Structure 1
Amino acid sequence: MLETYVKKILSSRVYDVAVETPIHAAPFLSERLGNTVLLKREDLQPVFSFKIRGAYNKLALLSDEQRACGVVTASAGNHAQGLAYAARHLGVKATIVMPCTTPEIKVRAVRAWGAKVVLHGDAFDEALTFSQKLIKEKGLVYIHPFDDPDTIAGQGTIAMEILRQHQGQLDAIFVPVGGGGLIAGIAAYVKYLRPDIRVIGVEPEDAACLKAAMAADERVVLSQVGLFADGVAVAQIGQHTFEVCRHYVDEVITVTTDEMCAAIKDIYDDTRSICEPAGCLGVAGIKKYVERENCSEKVFIAIDSGANVNFDRLRHVAERAEIGEKREALLAVTIPEKPGSFKAFCQAIGKRSITEFNYRFHDNAEAHIFVGVQTHPDLDPRDVLVETLQKQGFPVLDLTDNELAKLHIRHMVGGHCEQVTDEVVYRFEFPERPGALFNFLNKLGARWNISMFHYRNHGAAYGRVVVGLQVAEAERHKVPETLDSIGYMYWDETDNPAYRLYLA
């Protein structure tokens, strides 16, 4: 298997349109981690993503008759741009089916390269199904975004460049994983020539299709896929890609959204470039690996796979990066409702910077403060801060890992209402698009009175809502059935301590 892929990689025609991207050092991150971190800058390709390699290689290998039929693909964006660019170069008509949640910057770019864009579904797999219909209806030739040997070989040229550009110590390559085309191509080439180098996949925790397949030793379909890292939002690893990965990928690491946001900041600090969420996965994986293994003086390369990110999504990245870097703690602190309490609390905080402070009168006995405090993962970790406050007599609840607190409560503190009774609280996520909020409210209907509502959209691929409903105790068992019929992901937050403290 490996020899076949290596031959395909060596004969790939990617350099008709792709460039050999550099490997850049990440000095700040390297110093912090005590290991050498290098970045393979695939964000510097003409379409700002590695996907141009596999798309062009596959298209270039089609027969003249196949090209004359026109081509179609399904893509969350980067493969779409690569195929559109390649098709224009070769004079082939291309139709691209993209999920409706695809960042606008990617949709505009695909259209700019001359391809026809069809928006369908909320995730890649729905777009894929629709693209298959177009093959039957219009006789188009399908160009798979990852699950094709020629596409895999095109992506594998990255490994060929890495081993040529960096011939010294190299302990591991950290690769973002969506459908698996990139990591399969890299693993095939690296394990054939340098089996001593570890190939490590990195996936978001909420889109870890390769990790699930490796654990089951067979391809599985994820029931839900997170959309923050839209470039890797795939529910099932490819068949061809998994055959390579199951034998030649050493392990798969998963990371959180906060850890991805922190990694985007790390890459910016070292390169002054902004990568997309999928593009930072390699760096996020290195950080997690180093923390787990407590290693030093190793040499790691992360594939910086793309830079196609909506500018307004950076608000979310900036908001969560400090938490992902463990440099901010979000705390609920109870203080006596009497003069001097605020001063005493600030003295307990000491010289630490307060990033956020929210308060509203609760009752005559005590006050609940929602506060953000700068911390340092090594010099001043948040558990030390919590312990310090508790020793000085302040009841503290650490909300740093509480999604409801991070997404909503911090913007709603002070909303107690004694007149509201029989309240249940649910948090929702749904694909963001024009009219999404109206559609959500329409599906929710008017069966129960809405007693609280908070909606945030700050450039993410999905809208986030927290809803309070007044539901009599006798009817509460009917709520999940109604919410299931809406079809959106939801969580019961009625017993969430952040809600109980500030809003109940």
Structure 2
Amino acid sequence: MSEEFAAGPRLAEFESARERVARVAEVTPLQTAGFISEILGSPVFLKCENLQRTGSYKIRGAYNRLSRLTEEEKARGVVAASAGNHAQGVAFAARELGIKATIFMPVGVPLPKLLATRGYGADVVLRGHTVEEPLRAAAEFAESTGSVLIPPFDHNDIIVGQGTLGLEILDQISDLDTIIVPIGGGGLISGVSSSIKQKLALEGRKVRVIGVQAANAAPYPLSIQNGYPTAIRTLPTIADGINVAKPGELNFAIIKETVDEIITVDDDLIARALLLLMERGKLVVEPAGAVGIAAILSGQITNAGNTVVILSGGNIDPLMLERVISHGLAASERYLKLRIPLPDRPGQLARTSALIAEANANVVEVLHTRHGNGMQFSQVVLELHIETRGPDHAEQVIQKLRDGGFEPTSVV
């Protein structure tokens, strides 16, 4: 490896891994995205790993790691802990290689992910209610049975397998300027950044690599500032696939050297990005996979040139999808919740409905109650959930009600 890139695997390792990973991984599409290009002000391409086998890029690292086990290690079986994509990647890879797999998952894991993991032939053990509890259980299982523990990101073979995605992207676009990658523990971005930068360095070319974390689970900015992997206390986020409290050791070293910038995005932006991908791109993407689009929506990325955004996965529970869509509509001010105090006499509900109809908005839910703090004896409260066409239309609806003599307030 050149002195410029001291950390991480060599380019030859990534190129060798491509042959192994190609046995199971699809070459996923690189789609143009004019609707995102207009926002960024430069061409944007979507690398659709949400369409990958098992629904995410994770199959790459899992298969590369398992295929490099010795025959003795394969005979002992493998064990992993995951709430989703890593579990499915390991289970699928183990089935393809004829290896017994045991996967520890939290009790509350979404049913589609649980069924998919079992469907690939793994023995699934439900343990605990957080990711940490299955991790501990998997380590104990490995210790007691001799099974090989397959980590989700902090291993050279995992990094190399994920990095094959970078080489694939270079096959699909010859003039890449910027690549935007989701970050959890760092397995994907460390592999992609390392493989791409080493490959382009041979040609005397450079590329800008931007990592994106969910604001409620972002240990990398603090870790980069401190100079070493630093654990944080994460908060709940819809991007559960990248909710990791501490960077991987190997991943951090590569990222510190090869990633140009790391930014964070909040859940509102992530929900808006997911909704935009569904409406305009006709793509189902999990929240963790949509953070790159959220970063563009945030306005934090400029002067990007030809940009590839990795959509890292599409495994989203339908119930979660329903909630995220509602959240995205609200964040885009297309789903308006209003609370309106009314005199307790006939006809008031009809008057408000007529005014909303005149504003060309649609009421989807109504709550009418005489109970609540701060209400006068002769008052009722009307709570309306209204579909609008965006911020300007929402304000028109509110103004129409005010002009009609009502006092609506927005409900978060």
TM-score tier (shorter): 0.7 to 0.9
> Please, which of 146, 166, 174 is the counterpart of residue 173 of structure 2?
166
Q: Deviations over 1:117-147 (max 9, x none)?
A: 1111222222111111112111111111111
How many Å separate the matches in 2 of 1:296 and 1:384? 35
Go from structure 1 to structure 2 and tell me whether the alpha carbon gap of 1:384 and 1:23 turns closer, same or farther (over 3 Å shift). Answer: same
How many Å separate the matches in 2 of 1:100 and 1:40? 32
> Please, which of 292, 307, 310 is the counterpart of residue 282 of structure 1?
292
How many Å separate the matches in 2 of 1:158 and 1:208? 23
Letter in 2 for 1:138: T
Go from structure 1 to structure 2 and tell me whether the alpha carbon gap of 1:297 and 1:125 turns closer, same or farther (over 3 Å shift). Answer: closer
> Please, which of 265, 268, 271 is the counterpart of residue 261 of structure 1?
271
Letter in 1 for 2:111: E
Which position in structure 2 is the counterpart of 1:454? none
How many Å separate the matches in 2 of 1:135 and 1:60? 18
Are residues 1:360 and 2:379 paired?
no
Q: Deviations over 1:255-292 (max 9, x none)?
A: 3334333322222234433222222222222222xx34
How many Å separate the matches in 2 of 1:120 and 1:105? 17
How many Å separate the matches in 2 of 1:261 and 1:106? 20
> Please, which of 5, 8, 12 is the counterpart of residue 7 of structure 1?
12
For 1:225-374, what aligned pairs fall within 5 Å after superposition? 225-226=235-236, 228-288=238-298, 291-292=299-300, 295=302, 298-335=305-342, 343=351, 347=355, 350-361=359-370, 362-364=375-377, 366-374=379-387
User: 1:261–1:317: 8 Å Cα contact kept in structure 2?
Assistant: yes
Which position in structure 2 is the counterpart of 1:113? 120
Q: Deviations over 1:43-87 (max 9, x none)?
A: 222212110100111112222222222211112221121112212
Letter in 2 for 1:244: I
Which position in structure 1 is the counterpart of 2:185? 179
Cα shift at 1:156: 0.8
Q: Aligned to 1:4, what secondary structure does the other structure show?
A: coil
Cα shift at 1:240: 1.0
For 1:61-460, what aligned pairs fall within 5 Å after superposition? 61-168=68-175, 170-192=176-198, 193=200, 196-226=206-236, 228-288=238-298, 291-292=299-300, 295=302, 298-335=305-342, 343=351, 347=355, 350-361=359-370, 362-364=375-377, 366-375=379-388, 380=392, 395-400=407-412
For 1:32-71, what aligned pairs fall within 5 Å after superposition? 34-71=41-78
Letter in 2 for 1:67: K
Q: How many residues are matched?
A: 395
How many Å separate the matches in 2 of 1:344 and 1:52? 54
Letter in 2 for 1:186: V
Letter in 1 for 2:75: A
How many Å separate the matches in 2 of 1:118 and 1:89? 21
User: 2:218–2:234: 8 Å Cα contact kept in structure 1?
Assistant: no
Letter in 1 for 2:192: I
User: 1:124–1:233: 8 Å Cα contact kept in structure 2?
Assistant: no
Q: Deviations over 1:230-254 (max 9, x none)?
A: 3223222211111122232233333
Go from structure 1 to structure 2 and tell me whether the alpha carbon gap of 1:329 and 1:246 turns closer, same or farther (over 3 Å shift). Answer: farther
Q: Deviations over 1:10-62 (max 9, x none)?
A: 11121121122120123344446554332111122221211010011111222
Go from structure 1 to structure 2 and tell me whether the alpha carbon gap of 1:36 and 1:399 turns closer, same or farther (over 3 Å shift). Answer: farther
Unaligned runs of 5+ in 1: 401-504
User: 2:7–2:257: 8 Å Cα contact kept in structure 1?
Assistant: no
Go from structure 1 to structure 2 and tell me whether the alpha carbon gap of 1:345 and 1:19 turns closer, same or farther (over 3 Å shift). Answer: closer
User: 1:389–1:395: 8 Å Cα contact kept in structure 2?
Assistant: yes
How many Å separate the matches in 1 of 2:104 and 2:71? 23
* Higher relative contact order (Cα pairs below 8 Å, separated by 6+ residues): 2
Q: Aligned to 1:16, what secondary structure does the other structure show?
A: coil
Go from structure 1 to structure 2 and tell me whether the alpha carbon gap of 1:346 and 1:210 turns closer, same or farther (over 3 Å shift). Answer: farther
User: 1:26–1:267: 8 Å Cα contact kept in structure 2?
Assistant: no
Deviates more, 1:112-121 or 1:364-373: 364-373
Cα shift at 1:152: 0.6
Which position in structure 2 is the counterpart of 1:422? none
How many Å separate the matches in 2 of 1:306 and 1:347? 43
Letter in 1 for 2:12: K
User: 1:80–1:110: 8 Å Cα contact kept in structure 2?
Assistant: yes
Go from structure 1 to structure 2 and tell me whether the alpha carbon gap of 1:344 and 1:113 turns closer, same or farther (over 3 Å shift). Answer: closer
How many Å separate the matches in 1 of 2:162 and 2:169? 12
Deviates more, 1:270-279 or 1:121-130: 270-279
Q: Aligned to 1:11, what secondary structure does the other structure show?
A: helix
Q: TM-score, normalised by structure 2?
A: 0.84
Unaligned runs of 5+ in 2: 1-5
Cα shift at 1:4: 3.4
Go from structure 1 to structure 2 and tell me whether the alpha carbon gap of 1:61 and 1:178 turns closer, same or farther (over 3 Å shift). Answer: same
Sequence identity, in percent? 36
How many Å separate the matches in 2 of 1:363 and 1:36? 57
How many Å separate the matches in 1 of 2:87 and 2:8? 29
Go from structure 1 to structure 2 and tell me whether the alpha carbon gap of 1:345 and 1:16 turns closer, same or farther (over 3 Å shift). Answer: closer
How many Å separate the matches in 2 of 1:222 and 1:384? 43
Query: What CA RMSD, in Å, does the superposition of the two structures yield over aligned residues?
Result: 3.0
Q: Deviations over 1:81-132 (max 9, x none)?
A: 1112212222222211122222221222222222221111222222111111
Go from structure 1 to structure 2 and tell me whether the alpha carbon gap of 1:388 and 1:249 turns closer, same or farther (over 3 Å shift). Answer: farther
User: 2:60–2:161: 8 Å Cα contact kept in structure 1?
Assistant: yes
User: 1:124–1:234: 8 Å Cα contact kept in structure 2?
Assistant: no
Deviates more, 1:88-97 or 1:323-332: 323-332
